[in-house]
Amino acid sequence: MAANSQTGDGKDPNDPIDPIDTSGFETGASTSGDPEKIDTSGFETGASTSGTPQKMYTVKKGDSLSKIAKEFYGDMKEWKKIYEANRDQIKDPNLIQIGQELVIPE
What whole-number distance in Å separates Cα of residue 93 and Cα of residue 31?
46
pLDDT at 100: 96
pLDDT in tens, 12-50: 666 666 666 656 555 454 444 544 555 544 444 444 455
Question: Is residue 31 within 8 Å of 78, Cβ to Cβ?
Answer: no
What's the confidence (pLDDT) of residue 67? 98
Per the confidence metrics, is the pTM higher than 0.85? no
Average pLDDT, the chain: 75
Distance, CA of 36 to CA of 25 (rounded, Å): 19
- Structural domains of the chain, with CATH: 55-104 (3.10.350.10)
Comparing 54 with 80, the larger pLDDT belongs to 80
